[in-house]
Amino acid sequence: MAAISRSESPPGTERPRWRWEALRPTPRFRRQILRGLLVVLIFIGIVAGLALLFGISIIQYTLAGFVVGTIVVVAAIGLTLIYGIRGFANFAYGELMTLGAYVALFANLLLGASLPWGVVLAFGVLAAVGVLLEVLIFSRLEGRGPVPPIVASVGVSLIIQNGIRAVVGTGQWNFAVTAIQDIVIVPGLGIHPVRGITTLVVGVSFMLSVHIMLKYTNLGKAMRATADNLELAKATGIDTKRVTYAAWAVSCAFASTAGVLLGLGGVISPTTGFDVLLLVFAAVILGGIGSPYGAMLGGLVVGLSQEMSVPLLIWLGRPDVIGLEHATAYKVAIPFIIMIGVLLLRPWGIAGRQPAFGRRAFFVERLSRALSRKTTLAKKVKRDETGEGLVAIDTGLLTNIGFYVSVSIIFAVLALGFNIQWGYTGLFNAGVAGFFLIGAYVTAIAITLPAPPIVIAGIPVYPGHLGGYHLPFAAGALLAMFASGAAAALVALPTMRLRADYLAIATLAFAEIVRIFAINLESVTGGTIGIILIPRPVEFRPPDPFLNTAAIVGIGALILLVLLFVLQFIAESPWGRVLRAIREDEEATMALGKNAFRYKLQAFALGGALMGLAGSLFAVTLAYVEPTISFAPAVTFSVWVMVIVGGSGNNRGAILGAFLIYGLEFLSVQLKDFAPAALKDTIFYIRLIIVGVLLILLILFRPTGILPEKKRVLR
């Protein structure tokens, strides 16, 4: 199965072979066939066992798993190729998939071409985009480690995603293909014969063509050699530049096809690709980073495990078992949990599982349902309480500015946390939003009054939430710091000893898992509505928006000042010096007698605790928390930009960055009223595009930020 992973033929041990010899059944080949058969048999055994337990419907789920898995495989192959050759996790890959789907859609709907022609067009366009990305951005980041390209790829992803929103709009689209009746084994879970079978056929042919390319063509061999050892490949006379371009072209072309397949299975929207990106990452990690064959295995495992876990989750959801709410919604979390487990046991991959689909369907459905409910309910409750809007912000400019400052302070605290982790210690946290969320919810639960479920005319409008402990704000904030800090330590534990990009992916997955729980564990979190009526630390009666905002700003500013003082003290101490040493060279730091692992854990937990504190401030500033928008991955990306713009490794820089970048957002909100009608709806997306461009430009030309890290002159 793991046929040609790079590690199997160390240089020097493989004798040169004639081309035709590869076709002869060597003992190794026979062993692989046997191993493959064994795996198939075990798999059939598992399916049969599950069928006995949960009924014959498992076959339907298995088929669905294969379809989902196939799409993930196509995407994972493309992602892993670039991972292997360029050595970084391409966070823009989701958007490249989306872009492919939109190009095909454009050909399909506007040019009137049939979908296969759309696929061909998308294939070509995306291949060109890939080469362009390498030429313009990523070739300039060579040799700067795995993180700068990740940051640049997030910039690319912001530009593409919001570019699509600005140009095409946020609507959902479908390809114009004739629908044929589903084949139904279990009612409601049909496999669409055209879409399902097309997906399988395309996926299998892609896998075969990758195999042929890697094994039998000069380009493929050159790719493997380059992925294995760039310097050696160069010295051997391989044109590694050309190989890199080819890898980008193939990778992005695969992304386009994966995007089209995603569109066939569901709808096309600006987040079509991003929604499955984590699953693709999981597949890549499960199979072993940089190994196309591992990606195939990982993708299938991901798809199958996600879909096949459904009957188990349904069973868990039964009231007589544990009565898990919205049980099947958790199928998207299972792969991440498995992935983190795999990172713990076998970080080099092999064996694991993860779901790929259904998440979007689930989100869209629940979002639209919840949004309509939420607005009515929120209004109702607010009126009951005060007769005025609780969170309604006076349009007075002063209050607006107060609001801007208070949110900037929250972002500044987040940025300080990220600065400790990344700026000082070099630990890259892609799940800032998750720790932020934990802090916000822990505080909300600790300091609110009891909130029972609300049922109006027999319709449940609010599921209630855990808590109602009505603790003072300080206690809530301390609990939040503790919870987020502990969560950070827990997530870091399995990945601390690995490369920066593993930590990035694990934390990103963690943030998504946390969010899935926040949305679905209704009796604890209030579901999509969240938790409302969070008391402010200081409340003026009758409510005065200006005074309330001023009080929040005052408390926030005080906390920020104290934080800056304390952080400056500990980060510039001998302890902080060890953190910076680890950032520069972990191995050398260990050889100087420092337990690097312990320091990294401390720094990561401290950063997590600060993010929890930020969440706590957020909860009392807005007076409500909700899981869908406030804690989306975009929050994490904003914090990165803030720290990088301000100057990583410099606490004052992190704060400055937060005020500047959030200022941009604030400005875009204020400008909306003055913007020409044509721009009104797109101004938000334009802002995010600007952030993306800024991110790329900074990482390329001024990686030290506005306030660079200072040289510490010791006396």
The contact set with another protein (CB under 8 A) reads 7, 10, 13, 569-570, 573-575, 577-578, 580-581, 584-585, 587-596, 602, 709, 711-715
Longest Cα–Cα distance in the chain? 87
Per the CB < 8 A criterion, the answer to whether 482 and 609 are in contact is: yes
Q: Please give the structure tokens belonging to residue 409.
A: 């302070």
Write down the least CB distance from residue 247 to another protein, Å.
25
Q: How many CB atoms lie within 10 A of CB 103?
A: 22
- 306 vs 648, beta carbon nearer another protein: 648
Residue 328 identity (one-letter amino acid): T
381-390 in b/e burial notation, b at 16+ Cβ within 10 A? bbeeeeeeeb
List the one residue out of 423, 419, 604 whose CA is nearest residue 497.
604
- 384 vs 584, beta carbon nearer another protein: 584
- 9 vs 376, beta carbon nearer another protein: 9
- 235 vs 714, beta carbon nearer another protein: 714
Write down the least CB distance from residue 363 to another protein, Å.
41
Write down the least CB distance from residue 7 to another protein, Å.
8
- 173 vs 575, beta carbon nearer another protein: 575
559-579 in b/e burial notation, b at 16+ Cβ within 10 A? bbeebbeebeeebeeeebebb
Write down the least CB distance from residue 375 to another protein, Å.
46
Place of tokens 């003992």: 27
Per the CB < 8 A criterion, the answer to whether 413 and 617 are in contact is: yes
Sign of CA dihedral 319, 320, 323, 328: negative
Q: Please give the structure tokens belonging to residue 685.
A: 């997306």
Alpha-carbon distance of 661 to 422, in angstroms, equals 18
Write down the least CB distance from residue 578 to another protein, Å.
5
Write down the least CB distance from residue 72 to another protein, Å.
31
Write down the least CB distance from residue 696 to another protein, Å.
23
Half-sphere exposure of 224 (CA within 13 A, CB side): 22
- 195 vs 583, beta carbon nearer another protein: 583
Per the CB < 8 A criterion, the answer to whether 478 and 472 are in contact is: no
Write down the least CB distance from residue 87 to another protein, Å.
20
Write down the least CB distance from residue 650 to another protein, Å.
12
Strand partners, 465: 451
Per the CB < 8 A criterion, the answer to whether 505 and 89 are in contact is: yes
Write the Ramachandran bin of 440: left for phi over 0, alpha for psi from -120 to 50, otherwise beta: alpha
Would you call 668 exposed, middle or buried from its count of C-beta atoms within 10 A (0-12, 13-18, 19+)? middle
- The set of residues, in sequence order, having a beta carbon less than 8 Å from that of 129 and lying 6+ positions away, is 96, 99, 252
- 239 vs 585, beta carbon nearer another protein: 585
Write down the least CB distance from residue 569 to another protein, Å.
7
- 457 vs 714, beta carbon nearer another protein: 714
- 337 vs 601, beta carbon nearer another protein: 601
Q: How many CB atoms lie within 10 A of CB 652?
A: 16
User: DSSP characters for 443-464?
Assistant: HHHHHSPPB--EEETTEEEE--
- 541 vs 715, beta carbon nearer another protein: 715
Alpha-carbon distance of 220 to 217, in angstroms, equals 5
Per the CB < 8 A criterion, the answer to whether 141 and 148 are in contact is: yes
Write down the least CB distance from residue 543 to another protein, Å.
40
Write down the least CB distance from residue 591 to another protein, Å.
5
Cis peptide before 542 (omega within 30 of 0): yes
- 174 vs 602, beta carbon nearer another protein: 602
